Amino acid sequence: MKAMDMRDAKHSKPTSRLASTRERIDRSAYELFSRHGIRSVGVDTVSARSGVAKMTLYKHYPSKSALALAFLRRREELWTRSWLQQEVERRARTPAGRLLAAFDVFDQWFRRPNFEGCSFIKALLEHSDKGHPVRKAAKANLATIRAFLRQLAKEGGVRGADAFARQWQMVMMGSIVAASAGDKDAARRGKEMGLLLLAREGIA
């Protein structure tokens, strides 16, 4: 029985170590890419921050693009779904209230000392090649947010929900860029514009 336990432990350690190594890489890439963008951060920097040898990193992610795509997937899960959408749903009950609540969530975000901006916008601007997988992924991430806005617009009785969601997202993205340029009140200004868009649809 003792020998079997030792064999089990011997087989379980590599799996555990593998998961731990990958998690360190993912966590370090997330911190660096969200803060500094993807293009300006090299694999050497991710390797040094995570404490993982570069060759080991490449065993998990064979290219920087693969690492960047994993980062964008993680960013969508943590930022879009687990933070933005959940906060919006927590703060308001009506569809219109939830649309406006996005700017309240942004207002707190913009005022954080570690405000990092939108990783999806950064990735889009950093990769001008329309066929680049990172650019495609960033566009898909933004489309996920737009789909959420479109659903809220539909539930709120907005005619032409897709066009409305695009306009609403433009205001949201504009407020993020303005905040990145130092306007800490950008979310409040964005909310004022949102009220005008809702008023145009006859929604109080």
Q: Angle CA(24)–CA(26)–CA(131) in degrees, nearest 5?
A: 155
Please determine, for residue 8, whether its predicted confidence score (pLDDT) is greater than 90: no
Average pLDDT over residues 27-56: 96
Average pLDDT over residues 34-49: 96
Confidence category of residue 204, pLDDT binned at 50, 70, 90: confident
How far is the CA of 37 from the CAs of 8, 17, 24, 72, in angstroms? 42, 28, 18, 11
Dihedral angle of Cα 159, 203, 175, 169, to the nearest 10 degrees: -20
User: Tens digit of pLDDT for each residue in 137-190?
Assistant: 999 999 999 999 999 999 999 999 999 999 999 999 999 999 999 999 999 999
Which of 144-152's residues contact partners 24+ apart within 8 Å by CB, and which partners? 144/76, 144/80, 145/80, 145/84, 145/120, 145/169, 145/172, 148/80, 148/85, 149/99, 149/102, 152/95, 152/96, 152/98, 152/99
1-62 domain in CATH 1.10.10.60? yes
Average pLDDT over residues 26-35: 96
**Any residues with CB less than 8 A from the CB of 28 and at least 6 apart, and which?**
46, 49, 50
Whether pTM > 0.85 for this model: the answer is: yes
Please choose, from the candidates 165, 42, 37, 30, the residue with its C-alpha nearest in 3D space to the C-alpha of residue 99: 165
**How do the domains of the chain map onto residue ranges?**
1-62, 68-204
Please determine, for residue 5, whether its predicted confidence score (pLDDT) is greater than 60: no
What is the per-residue pLDDT for 137? 98
Using CA atoms, how far apart are residues 46 and 108, in angstroms rounded to an integer? Answer: 29
Please determine, for residue 3, whether its predicted confidence score (pLDDT) is greater than 80: no
Same fold, 1-62 and 68-204: no
What is the per-residue pLDDT for 17? 57
Please determine, for residue 67, whether its predicted confidence score (pLDDT) is greater than 50: yes
Superfamily the domain 68-204 falls into: Tetracycline Repressor, domain 2 (1.10.357.10)
Rounded percentage of the chain residues whose pLDDT exceeds 70: 91
